[in-house]
Chains A and B, each alone.
Chain A
């Protein structure tokens, strides 16, 4: 019976004590502890979020960099291609130009050669003619010392010139 008969004094002291403990622990222990734990948890959560954010940003930056790099590479290729094309064109043009010039020069040279040839021929002709006349003069002088011969020659010459 004594076991299940609660003592009044104990009930009184227990109620009083428990109430005081509750108030004191609430104010001086649980509130600060729970608040600190909450702060720490918040801090950890924020840190995790920030880390995640930073990671994502880094990824973005990396992607951006990759993109820029790819673009640059493409542009370079494009430029190289264009440069090659330009180069080829220039070379071709130069070739063509050179060919044209060469041809023209050749033409000119040929022309000049022709002209020179013509001149030379003409000069030669002149010279030959001069010499011929001289020779002819000399011959004629020697041969045409008589009148007969002179007459004969003139006739012959006339005949010949007619043939010309």
Chain B
């Protein structure tokens, strides 16, 4: 079934891309609808949280804008609703095109667009905070209950979470880090549940889900940096020796040109970079695929109502299928990020005796 659908979709895609190629001259729009723009906008961060849009009525949650103007050396905080539809407020506006499209800019004396230091509470920041509140709401009462009767087995939702906690403790931390795993366990647990929850929330099509948090390079980058810092800080003598003067490598690869140390040192940085990119790309990919299938309906709407209905059936079926797949991916990516972090900690903790 899935095979047939995917085959059919492949044909549809080929057809659409053909149609796009014929019509495309810079901006491909279908009756004013620009699919490429729409898809990218869907996965990007915004200054407000759009809930739905009917005709020209935009229902969205305005979020606070906090910027520090480098030109005026001053902080500004105001509602993002002031900047709607290209309005200017206190010299700030959101351009619709150019290098800084969709990001708050101000104009300098020469009329050039300059980015202020932007600390706005954007859609993704709010989504992160919501997920954090959910984490607190889940785990702090759970901890209380556990403290009150530590000997009774978990019940209900806790019985679902405890195997995950045990899985991270036994199969991720203990196996990869070794004896000193307990020190790293809180970080690994936080990491896993943060990623997993945000991945799942990202699959929800409406508020408070739908934000592309874990598919954002800044978010994955911060988490990868945490892993990198912890790895570097816990590195033993053996770990650094292995990087700069690996005894298993012949000397001429180290002197006079430090080839291997260079490769190893690069590895130190590539490891967290790969972590960052893997999670980002997987989640972003899932989002884009799902949005794309929905977008297909709008593209076909440009060809006629019948085409739109026909495609919508296939599209919706496929989005459902992809969503199930993404649920699996949500878990797998959280797991992979956590296990690799644990693995790096384990490598950093290695000593001579083994």
Contacts and interface: CB of A to CB of B under 8 A. Distances in A.
Interface of A: 2-15, 17-18, 21-22, 24-26, 28-37, 39-40, 43
Contact of B142 (A6, A22, A33): A33
Nearest to B132: A21
Nearest to A39: B150
Contact of A7 (B43, B122, B143): B122
Contacts of B124: 10
Contacts of A21: 132, 135-136, 190, 194
A12 B194 contact: no
B267 interface: no
A113 to B, nearest CB: 103
B119 A25 contact: no
Given A30-B139, A33-B146, 20 more contacts: A3-B40, A3-B44, A3-B217, A5-B217, A6-B218, A7-B118, A9-B66, A9-B125, A11-B221, A11-B222, A14-B128, A15-B225, A17-B129, A18-B222, A22-B187, A30-B185, A32-B144, A33-B143, A35-B150, A37-B169
A24 B118 CA distance: 27
Interface string B166-186: 100100000000000010011
A13 B121 CA distance: 8
Interface in B154-174: 162, 165-166, 169
Given A9-B125, A11-B221, A3 B162 contact: no
Contacts of A13: 119, 121, 125, 128
Nearest to B129: A17
B101 A2 contact: yes
Contacts of A40: 150-151, 153
B123 to A, nearest CB: 10
7 contacts: A15-B225, A25-B190, A29-B142, A36-B146, A36-B147, A37-B166, A40-B153
A86 to B, nearest CB: 65
B348 interface: no
Contact of A12 (B103, B119, B169, B186): B119
A30 B162 CA distance: 11
A109 B314 CA distance: 137
The 3 A-B pairs with the shortest beta carbon distances in the complex, nearest first, are A6-B218, A36-B146, A36-B150
B329 interface: no
Interface of B: 40, 43-45, 66, 101-103, 117-122, 124-125, 128-129, 132, 135-136, 139-140, 142-144, 146-147, 150-151, 153, 162, 165-166, 169, 182, 185-187, 189-190, 194, 216-219, 221-223, 225-226, 284
Contact of B136 (A24, A31, A43): A24
A39 B151 contact: yes
Contact of B190 (A14, A15, A26): A26
Contacts of A43: 151
Nearest to A18: B222
Contacts of A18: 190, 194, 222-223, 226
A70 to B, nearest CB: 43
B133 to A, nearest CB: 10
A17 B132 contact: yes
A15 B223 CA distance: 8
B190 A30 contact: yes
A33 B129 CA distance: 23
Among A14, A17, A35, A43, the most chain B Cβ lie within 10 Å of the Cβ of A14
Contacts of A12: 119
A40 to B, nearest CB: 6
A124 B287 CA distance: 155
B44 A2 contact: yes
Contacts of B147: 32, 35-36
A24 B217 CA distance: 25
Contact of B146 (A8, A14, A15, A32): A32
A34 B125 contact: no
Contact of B217 (A6, A28, A32, A39): A6
A24 B190 CA distance: 10
A19 to B, nearest CB: 8
Contacts of B169: 34, 37
A39 B187 CA distance: 21
Contacts of A29: 136, 139-140, 142-143
Contacts of B118: 7-9
